[in-house]
Amino acid sequence: MFLKKESPLKPGKLADLIVMDKNPLEDIKNSNPVIYTMVNGRLYDVNTMNEIGN
């Protein structure tokens, strides 16, 4: 995960993020295989956009 040093990411806070299977720093093409996305604290499967965990 890439965070600024002064990132407000803390326990109990909501975050928007994506989960990738490969490191995009090694090859920019690695940013294509996204597995999950989190929006407003809810986790979704990228292929179906079904919420996971609730």
Tens of each residue's pLDDT in the chain, 54 residues: 555 555 566 677 766 788 888 888 899 998 888 888 888 888 898 889 999 986
pTM (2 d.p.) = 0.59
Token pair 């965070």 is found at 3
Position 38 scores a pLDDT of 86
Q: Tell me how many domains the chain contains.
A: 1
* DSSP per position, 7-29: ----TT----EEEESS-TTT-GG
Position 24 scores a pLDDT of 86
